[in-house]
Structure formats: C-alpha cells, structure tokens
Structure 1
Amino acid sequence: MIKRGSLTSTILRLMLVLIFISSSLAVYSIINLSFSIGDARAINASGSLRMQSYRLKLYLERDEQLLQEKINQFETTLHSEALERSLTWYSPDALSQQYLLVVDKWEQMRFFIENQQRQEYSDSLKDFVDTIDILVLEMERFAALKLRILVIGQIIGLFLMLIVAIAATRYTRKRMVQPILQLMDVANSISKGKFKVDVPQTEYMELHALGEAFKKTASELDTLYQDLEGQVNEKTIALTRANNELSFLYDNLIRLHADSLDYKALSSALTQIQQFEDLDYVRLVIEHDDGTIDSIEADNGWLDSAGLNSEQHAAVTPVKFNLQLEDKNLGYLEVISLRPVNNMLFVNFAMMLTRSIVIHNATEERQQLALMEERAVIARELHDSLGQLLSYLKIQVSLLRKKIEPNCMTEDVQTQLVDINDGVSTAYGQLRELLSTFRLTIKDPNLGQAIEVMLAQLRKQTGIIIELNYQLSPHLLAAKQHIHVLQLTREATINAIKHAKPSRIEIDCFLANSDMIHINIKDDGIGVSHLKERDQHFGLGIMYERATKLHGTVKFDNNPQGGTTVSLVFPPQQEPLNG
C-alpha cells in the first residue's frame, strides 16, 4: 500500500531545504565578515608606525621638548585596539609573533631615545621599519586568507543549492509531471469510449484523488453505458471538462512562469479564463503592503454599477476568491457571472496566481539584493584602496612641506604644493561622495520607503525643509530601476542643498496621464543660471547617464516663483494598471 502525502507539503519541504542552505550560507558569511571588521584600521595604524618612527628621529635631533609627547603617541598607536587584535585566538602565529617582535624592538628603540643615543637610533631605524613592514604584510595576508575562506564557503553553498535544485527538478518531473500526463492520457481514452483504464499510482493525495475520480467515473460509465445513454453522455461531458480545466490550469501556469509577470500576462490569463468559463466579468485586485491596490481586468473591462438599481445590484453580486498564501493575503479574484461559478476551478486558479505573484516578488527582491551587494563590494574596494592612498598622499605632502628648507621655498614651489594638496583633498572629497552613494541600501522593493530613509539622513545634516510626495505603485518599477532613481534623486537633492541655498525642497513622484513616471525635485533657491558655471561640481553627466539607463530624460528649469525644478521622466517597466 502506497503511503499518501500532500503535494504542497513536498514542495514546501524542498523550499525549506533551499532556504536552510541559503540561510546557513548567509550566517557563515556574516561570521566571516565579523572577523574582518577592523582589518583596514589595523593596516592603517601599522602603516602610521613607520611615519612616526621617522618623526621621532626628527624630534630627537631638533626638538627634544616634544619628544616625550611623540613617544606617547607612538606607544598609543602600537598598543591600540586595532593592532592588539593581532594577539587574538584566531590570528595566525606568524602575525602574533611579528607584532610581539615589533613591540620588543620598540623597547630597544625607546632605550636609544631616552639615553640620547641618536646614532644608535638612526642605525637601528631601517631594521625597525622593515619589521613594521613585515607586520603590515602579515596583516594583509591574514585579510586575504579570510577573503579566500569566504569565497570558498560561498562556492560550496552555491554548489549545494545547485544540487538541491537539480534534484528537485528531476523529482518534480518524475513524481508530478509524469502522473499528470498519464492522467491526461486516461482522460483522452475515456473520451474515446475506452472505459477499461488504469490510472497511474501516485504518492500524492491530490493526484491520487483525481485518478480515483477518473477510475470511478469510468467504472460507472462502463456499467450504465448499455442502458443509460444519457447518463454516459453526461459523464463524458464532465470528464472532458475536468480534462480541459486541468489543461487550462497547466498551460496558464507554464505561461505565467515562462515570461515576466506583468500586467499584460495577468490580463491575458484573466481573458482566457473568462472565455473558458463564459463569464460576464472578471478582475484581479492586488493589495500591496503600503495600502495601495491595483485592479487588473480582462479585455472587456469591469462592470460599471453606477447606473444599476437595487434589483440589478443583487443580480450581479460578485464572487470573491482570496489570493492567500499561509497567513499573507495578496488580494482577491472577483467574478461576475449569470451562470453558476465553478468554485473549484477558481480556487485552483487563484492559488496559481498567488504562487506566481509570490515567486515574482521573491525574484525582484533577489535581483535587488544582488545589485546592493555588488555596489557594497565596489565601495569596500574603493575605500580600502583609493581612500588609504589619498590619505597617505595628504600626509606625504604635509611632510614634504616641512622638509623643504626655507631658502628653497620659492613662490612657485609654494604654489605647486598648494595645488597638489587641493587636488588630493578634492579627490578625497569626491571619493567620499561616491562611497556615500554606493552605500545607499534598499532593504525591500518599496522605493518610497528607501527615498524617505535617504531624505531622513539629509534632514539631519541641514535645516532645510525636505518633503516627499510619493504616489507610485510598486509594480511600476523593476529592482534594477530602483537604485538609479534613488541615486539620481539623492544627487539632485544634495546639489540643491549645497548650491541653490533653498529654504524648502519638495520631491514629487507620480505617474502622469501620459503613462510616464515623473520624479520632480523642486527648490526655492537661487535658480538654474549657476549650473553652467559649476557643471563639473554638479555631476550632471552622471545624472544624464542614469536617466539614459532608465530610457528617460532629465532637465533643469527655473520656477516662476524662483528656484529650480529637476525633472526626471522615464517609462515604467510595464503598462500602468487600471484601478
């Protein structure tokens, strides 16, 4: 005897396995990254020891009054929390021993300083700096080792998920698709008058119940066929309809999952079920988390009940089928028909739509998280490379200025030093702006909440009143569009704060009658005439480039009452919904 199980439970278990693997992979990554916090700070601190060693030599020869203060600064850096992490239990022995070696050699160097042994200090300085360099190298190797461990873990986790996905696909094809195809063959045999059929044996209650229904119907038809021609015809019609319903649901399921789930696909599915069941009206109402709703209708639209009397209202009472998965309600399917409604068909159809919408939303979130992770990696790389290099250059320029003899400090030399310092400072400031932009995060597909979080950060930095009027439905924007809209809005708002000198900034996000999305950033500042003069400081090229990626345009206009309006206009990812 075959033990029966639920088809839904089997699918849920497969999903739980994938969720468990992905969750384990995420926890592993978080643990690995937690051990990497502070690596950059430690490398920077160890690097600064080299500079302080040379500075101590300078003060030992020229200014002994500040010598003790510089010794204290050196020891504070040497025994800082960032460097003492080299002695933790998970640090390699080579790193710990190298750090202790630096500490031991510092005691000797300090003895030279305290006893005014300048020549001995100078002679030992290169060896001491080389020891610090080896410490920096060991730290970099340890950081690279942790990164390699993280990459290996990610590869193993993805490989396990791929194995589970392949196994689930084969299992589904063998245990679900083949019995359904066999049931379709059984239905075809019965429709041709062959009542001696064998239904496939399956371990799932749903398919087993359907198979047993086929078998029972065939048996009754075989018994009553000779004397009850009318009953045979009735059963044949019922079987044919059941087969058609199964085929209809299967075909729509394949179609909805084959292409992107948008308004056209859902409207096409509604039109097909309307024609299949000969319905008067049918529509799908999707309820979003922010309280907004979208209404998707079949090709003939929805009944306008404004001109109906009370009797007509009673005759056209719609039947609702909820789109609910576990404890989450996504909306409902609404049907108006003068004939009795096939409840089972619509319950299954509503379940199919629910799962399609949930899978589509999950895909959007994964795409969005992938984009955010990619930008976070770029931000970290820029910070760890260019950020430290620019800081180092600023320090070197300062040291160079101090080492140039007064008689060599001509006006041209002074000008060149100032230009170099200003250039490095400008590059460092631009790098910080770039890192701030890359670190903007969108934790869910709600772009309105992401913009509000970004504006909340800007409100803390300025006294300017910033208001947001967001009226866009979530389905209008894809995950890949969110980051461009968010960053362009941030760039325009920061430009207004820095350069327009406004007292108020208003941001309007809405869908115009032309079916184009409008993002307007309006301020009451000094106007748009200053843009040409400060073009390089506004990052206008980046804003135009982002607008192009959205297949839209961005323009700058003066307001009649004063100030500037930055307008971004671009098409949505799909046609606007009716509702």
Structure 2
Amino acid sequence: MTYTWTLARKLLAIGGAMLVLALGSIGLTLWVSWQLEGGAAAVNEAGRMRMQTWQLAASLHDAPPAQVQAQFERFQASLDLLAQGDPSRPLLVPWNDPAQAAFHDVLKQWQALRVRWTQQPLPEPVAVRADAEAFVRAVDVLVNAIEQQLARFTSILHLYQLAMLGLALAAAVALLYTGYLFVLEPLARLQRGLERMEQADFGARVEVNTHDEFGRLAAGFNRMAQTLQSLYRGLEDKVREKTAKLELQRGRLAALYDVSALLARADTLEAMAQGFAAQVRRIAQADAAAIRWSDEANQRYLLLAAEGLPQAMSESEHCVPTGECLCGQSAADARTRVIPIVAADRTLGHCAREGFRTLVSVPVQLHHRLLGEVDLFYRADVALGEEEKSLLDALANHLAGAMEGLRAAALERERAVAEERSFIARELHDSIAQSLAFLKIQVQLLRAARQRGDAAVLERTLGELDTGVRECMGDVRELLVHFRTRTNAEHIEPALRTTLQKFEHQTGLRTHLEIDGHGLPLDPDVQVQVLHVVQEALSNVRKHAQAREVWVEVAADSAGWRFEVRDDGVGFEPEADRAETHVGLRIMRERAARIGAQVRIDAVPGAGSCVTLTLPPSATAAATTPAGSAAAA
C-alpha cells in the first residue's frame, strides 16, 4: 500500500524533527553550563585551600592545639568536598587525567604535611613555611588543571551556541521552503485557477501533484470547474432571454409610471385625454391615437383628444354612433381588438384612404362600466402579443380610474356647494325669515290702521316696523359675522374670544370669558355648532335681555364639555308664550340635536337668564380617531 502523507503529517514531522534538534542542543548547552558552574565553584574551593594552608602554617606554633586541630579538620573537609562534589551548589570538579593526577598529588602531600605538622616537636617555622609553599604549588597545579578543563568547556559552549545559531537559520530556511513547497505553491496554483474562473475561463484546471489536503482541494476545484463549464454552456442564452424580459418589464413599469404621473397632474378631462393620447401613442409606437368618451347609455362616442390623427378624420369622427364604425365598441362585447384595415370595407374606408393599415381598439372600463375607448392607428401590419395587450389594458384602466376620479371630485364639489347653499338657506330661514314674517304682519296692521284712520295704532305700528327693520339689519350683520367666523382645529377658545369681541363692538355690553379645565379637543363640526348656539344665545341677549354684562363660562373635563351664557338682564318666564324667544330656543335646540348635545334654559324675571349647552364625551371621541379626522376633513 502507498502511504499518503497529509499536510498535517508533513508539518508535524518537520516540526518534530526541529523540536528534537532544539531540545538536544538545549540539553547539551545546559550540561556544559552546569559543568562550568560547578568547575568555577571547585576553583573557588581550591583557592580557599591555599588560604587555609597559610593560615594553618601561621597558627601552628602560636595557636592553641584545639584551634589548630579545627583548622586541620576544615582543610580535610575542603578536600573531601572537592573529591565528592556538592550538587546543591553546584560544586564539582571537571575531572580529566591532569586534574585527577594533580588532585592525587595534593592528597599525597597533604597526608605527608599533616604527619609532619602534628608530630612533636613541631618543625621550625622556616621548615613549616617551606612545606606550605610546596603544598600551595601542588594546589596551584590542581587549580590550573581545573581552569584548563573549564576553558575547554567554554569553547565547547561557544561551539554549541554557534551550532544552535546555524540550526535556527537552517530551521527557518527549512520552514520557509517547506511552507512554500507544501502551502504557498498549492495556494498560488489555486489562486491562478480562481483568477481564470473570474475571467469566465471555465476550462481552467489546477495540477494535482500531491494527495494531501491541497491535492484534494485542487481535485475538488477541477470538479467544480467542470460542473460550471457544463452549466455555463446554455447560460448565456438564458441570461439574454431573462434580460429581454426584464427590460420589457422595466419599460412597462416606466410607461405606467409616466402615465400615472400625467393623469395625477391633469385637472380637466380635456387636458387628461390630450396628454394620455400623446403618451399612449409614444408607448405603443403608433402613428396616430384617439381618445373617445362614451355617454352613459353607450349610444355614441365623443372624440376627446387626438394625436397624429389627420384633420379630416378628426372632423368626420368627432361624434361616432356606437356600432356605426369599428372604432366605437358596444358595452356588451367590449375588448381589446386588432383590426386589419381593408379599403373595401365601408366602415374603415376612410382610414385606408389616409394610409392606415391596422387599428387597435382598447376599451376604457371601470368596474364593468364602459367609459370610453382608446384607438391606435398604424400604417403597417401589427400583431400584438399578450404582453402588449396587457400593457394597453393597464394604461386604459389607469385612464378610467383618473376619469372616474375627476367625476367624483366634480360631484364632491357639487355636493359641497349644495350643502353650503342649504346651510345658508337654513340660516336665513331661522333668522331673517322670522323677522320678515313679523314685518309682514306689521305692514298688514299698518294698512288696517290707515284705513280706519287710527293715528295711535298707526304711530305704534310704524315704531314696530322701524324696530323690526333695525333688528332685521342686525340679523343680516350677525349672519355675516357668523359666516366669517372660523373655528380652531385644536381648541374653541380663540373662536369664542373673537365672537365676544365682535359682540362687544356691536352692542357695547361688557363680556367675560372663563374656561375651566382642559378636555380633549372638539371635532371641527362640533365646534361650528357650539359656536352658533353661543352666538344665538348672545343674539337673544342683545334683542331681549336689556343687560349690562354677559358671562360665557366653559367647563371641560373627562365627562365632556359644558358651555354657559349668562346675563344680568331683565330675564323672562320660561313657560310664557313668547314667539320670538321660542324661535331662538328652537334654533339652539336643533343645532344641539345635530351633535347629540342638550340645551337647558334657566331664567328668572328681573334676575337675568342662563343658557347651558352640555356635550357628551362622544363629541370629543371623533377628534381622536382616524375616522373622525377624516369625517372632519
């Protein structure tokens, strides 16, 4: 079997070899360092023996015998230490033949010296000095032998260090080379293959030289490249097809966007139709385009706009009865059609005379209701696909929606005008009409008094007429003030202050406004009715109360709103039959009923009157909901 070396095994083998060499070198260096350190301690100990020899020689005759004996023992301990060594310090003699011989010579001389220096009588000092000098020379020989051995160890240590330096350099070079051989070069081959793949060269392959991880990765890359090459063969055609479809969709969306923007800007039906005719002619690449509007019964088509259509055709087809020409489709079978123009066909003969050969008719429908038709004229034979028909139908639907929007806006404006007229009529009926009815009665009384010749009644009736005319003029001015008063979208306080200021200016009465609490804002429609009720109450004060001051108090809390209009006038009896007062009260109650509020009248003859308008909490709810805001708008 062929054993496959993976990249991890290769790197592990190289790293293991480097580690063994490094550990061996470090071990040898440590051993040599240990020898040097122990040898240095041995040299120090041998040097100390020289000092001990001279001390022993100096104290041999003068010192007590016990002290001399202790010196002999210390000297013997030093010799034993050199012979045996001390691993804890460390202290050891780097033994070799010269060192062994020198140490044996030292031992031999020490034994002879010890015998001579311990016998009686002691030798002469001169002899002792001579023996000491001879022994010291022997010790010097030992020290020199040890130092020579240490010098050799130092040389060996330097050699090991140089060898380790060389080993480190060799290891670095080996690692770089193996990294390049096993990692960088395979990666470079893969990189070159990827660059060729990025350039759409799917025939790129990577050479497989090994069976390690990079070899398997290269083999996988080759399989991937082969798969991509097989897939890419038909991809370009698919991309071109998809690009064409996307471009078509983009053009369609752009066309719909342009038409939608045009229809949104148009404010009249004619401008909308003319702009749409130009846009649809450009989008459909037609030679001419016409926009026709059908009446409600679909009996005829009116030409709204034309783009590129000959003048003669525009004049002759300004109004086309349904079914008389192929341009005007009936609502029953309205659909998008492509109609070839044949000169022999009497319904399309005029189109053929103008050089058109194809007509495309697109109905404009909204909710199954036919609003009109878009006609496209071509001077060549045209066949529309489903995409083109769908686009034309979508454009026609946009046009139908815009036309319906204009119609709805017109109806809304008409409804608003009608409501405004109804409001004005109601205001006139509730105010001026009552005064005119009173004046009519006074005129009849005046005519009767003149016929009878009753001067007193005639004078009194003229006074009533004058008062009635002034009140009618005051009502007119008051209505004008009411119509010009605007409410505030957030709070009713500014409108109330404006109303009281105008009331003071017209009547000269002092007014006071007090607002207590901060409730939720009222709906704008509710504010209008509240303001009119307050104005009606002030109008009654002006007409009947004979007051000097008026107070308007507003209270707002979570339970709702309450408005009070008080005066210090003459008051009245609420149950008395006062036609004019009852009309004003009826007007206020009607307005309050429209907003679900209640009106209460409190009056005491001679002590003034008070009109209280109470609004339920629901009057403020509409102002805080989207539906209420939409209704208010």
Which TM-score band (shorter chain)?
0.3 to 0.5
TM-score normalised to structure 2 length: 0.33
Bigger radius of gyration, 1 or 2?
2
* TM-score scaled by length of structure 1: 0.36
Tell me: higher relative CO, structure 1 or 2? Use CA pairs within 8 A at least 6 residues apart.
Answer: 1
